[in-house]
Amino acid sequence: MVNTDLAAIWVYLSATPLLGLTLTLVAYSLGHRIYHATGTHPLLNPVVTSVVLVIAVLLLSGTHYETYFEGGQFVHFLLGPATVALAVPLYQQRERLRKVWFPLLGGLLAGSISGAISALLIARGLGASLETQLSLAPKSVTAPVAMGISEQIGGLPSLTAVLVVSTGILGAVVGTRLMALLGVQDDSVKGVAMGVSAHGIGTARAFQVSQQMGAFSGLAMALSACITALILPSLLSFF
């Protein structure tokens, strides 16, 4: 009886845009529960777990990505309002921001440039094609901006999107532990590092640590996207 009911529910959802939305919400909810049940283990970050769950369900059910995205696009739409909402915790940190704006700008410039150039040079050293190198250069920028940059400089926007998501997941998984090993204690510094290197997914992880870390991560994510978009096309002419 239960199996019959589940089958009927699946048939109904698969015929409507509710499939993608429901699957996304359920997968993230399960990922969040697993994350806290394991003592917030970094390898079980809810974003990582939910991505794996969604992929597994789509593969096992033979559901095409386009069908899934008909409903998943509702969550995708909320990325815009969620990004704008980052201004609220940032405003709450405005006094500290006034005191550190100069070193913050220097850190953003250094992080944005080194992140792009190091990725390009490593890819070149490993024998990647020029198109792959150019697709990899904006990997640390939030996806919509990174795809635009990739198209402008001659990369593959679709490949860049995959690399951006992979970079964000990796940063969210290892970022906080790595900074702890390096002895970084200041949440604002950790937030800037996370935002520059792991964009939106890293920022989500930063908010799990503290409001201050999340606020500075959101700021770093936005400003590094602007900096990269402005300087990367010209910078690549030297390489």
pLDDT given for residue 13 in this prediction: 52
Q: What is the pTM of this model?
A: 0.72
pLDDT given for residue 98 in this prediction: 78
- Closest residue by Cα to residue 30 from 57, 12, 2: 57
**pLDDT tens figures, 108-137:** 888 888 888 888 888 888 988 888 888 888
Q: Report the alpha-carbon distance of residue 107 to residue 75 in Å, rounded.
A: 32
Q: Is the dihedral of CA 208, 213, 218, 222 positive or negative?
A: negative
| The two structure tokens encoding residue 70 | 């008909």
- Closest residue by Cα to residue 201 from 94, 48, 15: 48
**pLDDT tens figures, 54-74:** 889 888 888 887 777 777 667
User: Is pLDDT of 10 > 60?
Assistant: no
Q: In whole angstroms, how far apart are CA 186 and each of 72, 150, 182, 212? A: 36, 33, 12, 9
Q: Report the alpha-carbon distance of residue 166 to residue 72 in Å, rounded.
A: 19
Distance of CA 14 to the CA centre of its chain: 28
- For the residues 95-108, what does the mean pLDDT come to? 81
Q: How confident is the model at residue 140 (pLDDT cuts 50, 70, 90)?
A: confident
User: Is pLDDT of 177 > 70?
Assistant: yes
- Closest residue by Cα to residue 166 from 19, 51, 25, 73: 51
pLDDT given for residue 105 in this prediction: 84
Cβ-contact 134, 236 below 8 angstroms = yes
Residue 42: enclosing H or E segment and its boundaries?
none
DSSP helix/strand/coil, 185: coil
What is the CB neighbour count within 10 angstroms for residue 194? Answer: 31
Q: What percent of the chain shows pLDDT beyond 70? A: 87
Q: Is 79 or 165 the better-scoring residue by pLDDT?
A: 165
